[in-house]
Structure 1
Amino acid sequence: MPSQELLDAIEAATQAEKITPTAATHIREWLTEPKYADYADQVAEHIRDQKWQVLDDAFWTIIPFGTGGRRGKMYPIGSNAINDRTIGESAQGLADYVKDTLGADAELSCAIARDTRHRSPEFARLCAEIMVAAGFKVYFLDGYRSTPELSFCVRYKNCSCGIMVTASHNPPSDNAVKVYWSSGAQVLPPHDKGIIDRVMNTQEIKRANFDEALAAGKIVYCQEEVDRAFIDAVMLQATPGPRDLKVLYSPLHGVGATCVVPALERDGFKEVEVFGPQSTPDGDFPNVPGHVSNPENPEIFDALIGHAMNTGADLCLATDPDCDRIGLAAPLTLDAGSDWRTLTGNQICGLLSDYICETRKLTPDKFQVTTLVTTRLVERIGISYGIKTIGDLLVGFKWIAQAIDAGGAENFLYGTEESHGYMAGQHVRDKDGAVASMLACELAAKLKAQGKTLHEKLDDLFWQHGVHAERTISVMMPGSDGMERMKEVMAQFRTAPPEKLDGLAVVQRRDYMQNITTKKDGTVEPLPQPTGDLVILDLEIDGNYVACRPSGTEPKIKFYMFAYTPAEMLHDLEEAKAELDARLNTFEEDLRKYAGV
């Protein structure tokens, strides 16, 4: 038992508001409960050193399962940190829930993979030891591999579940586990709540010895077999056509070279250069601006574009550290010396939607899937091809995966979301950087043969479907204070939204938490599913709206802004684009002022 001096110090710090009451509760638990015995000395040392801010950050809450699993900053102790205990609880809770759900007689198995982050190898081995101790056979992808390959492995090996150790595009300080069900999709209700219940009630974490389990065949290395099968599956989405394209590719210090390069080579692209400064697997992401390998950030491409212009490359392609998302940059025209520009996630959504619809055999049963905060250009493209678009989904590819299977996977064409996630085919149930890279390169090569670039093709789509302009801004709100501030901002949007944005009246408010639509005159109507922490404000001009939601994987709140000019109102395309860009600027100014961010 800890000394009374330590307990008194916790109480005094709470009274002095140096730590929150919830942090104090969790700190006491880690000091006193047997299940945390291995960490009690470290907790005590922090108390004696009066590291109250560190303790509050590490203990003020318990890391939840969000849209991408359990993710956060690594620290050796803490309920709100990624460490051996919280990772171990996640694996133990998953094992206990799967066993209870499938029954005692079920043949249990789990696929496990990891990225290039710090401690990912250790966390992957820890998860494997826990799953084996719980009676699971583990299919282990030794070495770093992509998240979509883990999703594929779950399906390919008919596993009961899967674990991916990755924090995707988060800073180097972070890590995480993504938990997958037997479908190869991230865990959905009711399983997510069932797993977290087990996680929260985990007492003892039981581990086998990794090397002994490997020797006994309870852990099976299968990376070479799964690598081949995965690329074979990606190739099923390939389309014959031009391949004269010089590609500059960056894995951004992540895993992407294990699958993107083989996929492009198999698809006939012979000029693929991996960008040297960002090619090495490194959890510090040393040669990436800000050390955050997020292909959503245009500055990621500055060095790539400079190198591409010097070497005559036609396309810059980058994938995030676990290779489930892509980013692109391309010249505005094929003229020598043309300026280059990155493409937003929404723009890539539309380009790939049109390419897939154009190159596939379509019937009215075919469908594509997207989310409520993704460009409606995807929906309008679908209408033009006579296919259905399922678009009333919350953020997170697990909801897209659910819609695929609910709608009939045999008729599924394409799934996409604005944060640079794209999927085609039957091989995975998550966004896939390998297949998206291949499709993007096929489209760019086809356009090059026609004398066009991706930007010029996007202009063609705007002429046909109207100009769509979107912008997303993220405001970081870390720690317990940040969580309270996020709740305040969301409550503000629900109860007292702005009356106008850029002079356009807010005509209705869609609240997906309460599932109601509130009209400008106060009339309230029911709003169908889904249910989640999302508010959308529709403006008086159709197609112009904003959305607000807290991130499910990071301590930040996100604002999504949409502006639109219908095709029939277009006269000068560049003028229309400039007008919408100015409108988005004012939307952003008005939102920041309104929300105090």
Structure 2
Amino acid sequence: MSLEPAPSESLRVQTALAAVEHACQEGKITAGAVENIRAWLTENRYREYRDSVLQHISDAQWQKLDDVFWTVIPFGTGGRRGRMYEIGSNAINDRTIGESAQGLADYVVKYHGGEKPLSCAIAYDTRHRSRHFTELCAEVMVAAGIKVYLLDDYRATPQLSFAVRHLQCDCGIMVTASHNPPSDNAVKVYWSSGAQVLPPHDKAIIQGVMNCQEIKRANFQQALADGQVEIVTEQVDAAYFDAAVQCQFAGPRDVRILYSPLHGVGEAAVVPLLHRDGFEDVTVYEPHRQPSGDFPNVPGHVSNPENKAVFEKPIEQARSEGFDLIMATDPDCDRLGVAAPLTTDSAGPWGTFTGNQIAALLANFILDKAVAAGITNPQSYVVKTLVTSELVRRIAAGHGVRCVGDLLVGFKYIAETMDQEGPDDFLYGCEESHGYLVGSYARDKDGAVACMLISELAAELKAKGQSMHDYLGELYREHGLHREDLINVFMEGSEGMAAMTSLMKAFRENPPQSLGGMTVRHVRDYGSNTVTTLGESPNTQPLAGPTGNLVIMDMIEEGNYVAVRPSGTEPKVKFYIFTRLEANKSQNLEAADTKLVDRIAAIETDVRDFARVSV
């Protein structure tokens, strides 16, 4: 729908559009930005943003305009996420958040066809404008005739997943950008299962979002007074802790814990759950305690427990005060990071664990307990993604448990597998990006329950006089040393998207013949679902598995491979490097580790060189 603005305004718009076209011809702005700016200047649905767009054009802010308009912000692996800015189709603002909620509301209403009353659970984290976006989403839902159950304080993403299931909602919204920088925010959209939306719902919701003309809103305060928005924080908290603590295992609880919420929501979830599980000596790391969207005391202001640097200062306190374990969760408390002493001496050196290492530690601990309790059967299974360590699969096999591991990146696929395979036989789900789940109370990764189980493992090992690092070493000697690494190559804006597309095409059509001195034997392309054998007589065969933008290059030595995929939540390409030595070559862990560290360095050099010449 086009506006017919007043003559003076129409002239301003035409003059601005001419300036935009001229800027495009001079290479200052991309064609995609021109198209989206034209829509925001001429279509009625964007009328309230017109003056701001015109001012940006008048001020010749071409780089900013290109950044926020070059594309339409997509739904990725975790919903719709990006940098906040007042205008722009490629930014998080009232328009993009509002149309996201409207697209979800319209689809939910259409899907159910008026057959029953509808409801939506909504929660939010400590980020800038999270509460504002929460009320906006609630207003859209209520205007569509959908009752809102609101967690009216900072709460964790897994608590939202739980609330959707517990309250039997038709959908859910979590306002969070997870571990992204302070500039970002997002919405994660959930279906009635408590999992983030999957096909066919995701495509239908996206279509509704893209076609959204009008964002219809109720008044939040009036909806609250009328009971159309109901505060359920205390009710959901009580039910969540009752369900989550059921995932506990019996054992010692004598361990000193230092916990960091990294300025996020985690303290309200982790600390009460640890206390319910019998852990009394829990201290919150004070410099990271204050909820803040600026993440002021975290290195680089990025609250990501994958980053070793966030543990440096907590380790200093732990060593001086005799703590046994440090845990940190990201701002929405669905990811867990861990540090522990290298030996049983907490005053000595400490080390952090990667997401893959934590996945393996928890897998072995949980499966040991499950087998000892006699709760496993031939149908019992664990779940992991394609870019999560194969050590998890080997640990599962060692316990006589199935591993479903042929999944794309995104915990929603683990949740989908739980419901396909049956939640009663589900034991554990994990992904390398520090996400873990046990139990069937939720359908998303849960940092709080992961904290509880790691604490139980730490207490059990302390009682045995063994460090967590030594425990991991035992797993390596049994199953072979596994070493993994992750390379993130950021590619911002429209030029970055073109570079990513070019790079993925190169890996598919002209992949490297060797990496780190090892011959590449196969290239698995999950985009075309084909596997190509390289060499003198190359051939291509069908590849069973999911379809997605992922390429995996298998080296000639089993267990050594590189996976490449564009991130679904940030403007970057991710390179996952996997290396392994057989168990008989892993008994001397120090020598084996040196070999694999050198191998990873060589592979990384080759991967970076290939990427540099391919874009």
Tell me which interval the TM-score lies in, with the shorter structure as reference length.
over 0.9
Structure 1 segments of 4+ aligned residues over 4 angstroms from their partners? none
Q: Distance in 2 between matches of 1:197 and 1:335?
A: 57
Look up the match of 2:262: 252
Q: Is the 2:318–2:346 Cα contact (8 Å) retained in structure 1?
A: no
Answering whether residue 389 of structure 2 is matched by residue 379 of structure 1, we say no
Cα-to-partner distance string for 1:423-476 (whole Å, 9 max, x where unaligned): 001111000001100000000110010111111100010111110100011111
Give the equivalent residue in structure 2 for 1:388.
402
Equivalences for 1:272-311 in 2 at 5 Å? 272-311=282-321
- Hey, what does 1:570 align to over in structure 2? 586
Structure 2, gaps ≥5 residues long: none
* 1:208 aligned counterpart, secondary structure: coil
CA offsets 1:58-103 (integer angstroms, 9 cap, x no match): 0000011100000000000000000000000000000001111111
CA distance, structure 2, for counterparts of residue 397 and residue 415 of structure 1:
9
Partner of 2:174 in structure 1? 164
Preserved CA contact (<8 Å) 2:265 2:291: yes
Q: Determine if the alignment matches structure 1 residue 47 to structure 2 residue 60.
A: no
Question: What is the alpha-carbon distance in structure 2 between the residues aligned to residue 256 and residue 417 of structure 1?
Answer: 20
Distance 1:31 1:152 in 2: 42
Equivalent position amino acid for 2:594 in 1: A
2:456 is aligned with 1:456: no
- Give the distance between the partners of 1:46 and 1:341, measured in 2 at CA: 48
Find 2:563's aligned residue among 544, 547, 556. 547
Match of 1:556 in 2: 572
- Between the aligned partners of 1:582 and 1:16, the Cα distance in structure 2 is 47
Structure 2 contact 175–186 (Cα < 8 Å) conserved: yes
For 1:428, the equivalent position in structure 2 comes to 442
Q: Which residue of 1 aligns with 2:431?
A: 417
For 2:451 and 2:347, how far apart are their aligned partners in 1? 25
Q: C-alpha displacement at 1:262, in angstroms?
A: 0.4
Which residue identity is paired with 2:544?
P
Write out per-residue CA displacement over residues 245-267 of structure 1, whole angstroms, 9 at most, x where no aligned residue.
00000000000001000000110
Taking only aligned residues, the RMSD between alpha carbons, in angstroms, comes to 0.8
Counterpart mapping for 1:186-585 below 5 A = 186-335=196-345, 337-360=347-370, 361-520=375-534, 521-585=537-601
How far has the Cα of 1:337 moved from its partner?
A: 3.3
Q: 2: distance between equivalents of 1:577 and 1:315?
A: 24
Give structure 1 stretches of 5+ with no counterpart: none
- How far did residue 17 of structure 1 move? 1.4
Which digits, 9 at most, give the CA deviation of each residue in 1:113-148, with x for residues without a partner? 000000000000000000000000100000110000
Q: Distance in 1 between matches of 2:513 and 2:267?
A: 49
* Separation (CA, whole Å) in 2 of partners of 1:217 and 1:275: 39
Give CA-to-partner distance per residue, 1:216-235, whole Å, 9 cap, x none: 11000000110111111110
Percent identical pairs in the alignment equals 58
Report the AA paired with residue 566 of structure 1.
Answer: E
d(CA) in 2 for partners of 1:418 and 1:513? Answer: 21
Once the two structures are TM-superposed, the CA of residue 239 in structure 1 deviates from its matched residue by: 0.8
Deviation at 1:336, TM superposition (A): 5.5
Distance 2:482 2:561 in 1: 12
**Distance of 1:421 and 1:453 partners within structure 2:** 23
Please point out which of 88, 92, 100 is paired with 1:82: 92
Cα distance in 2 for residues equivalent to 1:52 and 1:15: 12
Deviations 1:29-67 (A, max 9, x none): 111111101100000000000001100000000011100
How many residues in Structure 1 have an aligned counterpart in Structure 2? Answer: 597
Per the alignment, in what secondary structure is the counterpart of residue 486 of structure 2?
A: strand
Against the structure 1 CA distance between its residues 126 and 336, is the aligned structure 2 distance closer, same or farther, given a 3 Å change threshold?
closer
Distance 2:586 2:264 in 1: 42
Match of residue 175 from structure 1: 185
Asked if the contact 2:169–2:192 (Cα under 8 Å) also holds between the matched residues in 1, the reply is yes
User: What one-letter code is carried by the residue in structure 2 that aligns with 1:560?
Assistant: Y
Partner Cα separation in structure 1 for residue 289 and residue 87 of structure 2: 32
Letter in 1 for 2:483: A
Does the CA-based 8 Å contact 2:526-2:551 persist in structure 1? yes
Structure 1 counterpart of 2:217, one-letter code: R
For 1:500 and 1:256, the matched residues in 2 are separated by: 44
Partner AA of 1:103 in structure 2: G
Question: Residue 98 of structure 1 aligns with which residue?
Answer: 108
Amino acid at match of 1:549: R
Amino acid at match of 2:592: A
Residues 1:519 and 1:222: Cα distance change in structure 2 (over 3 Å) = same
1:14 positional shift: 1.4
Query: Normalising to structure 1: TM-score of the pair?
Result: 0.99
1:335 to partner: Cα distance: 2.8
User: Which amino acid letter does the alignment assign opposite residue 562 of structure 1?
Assistant: F
Match for 2:25: what amino acid?
Q
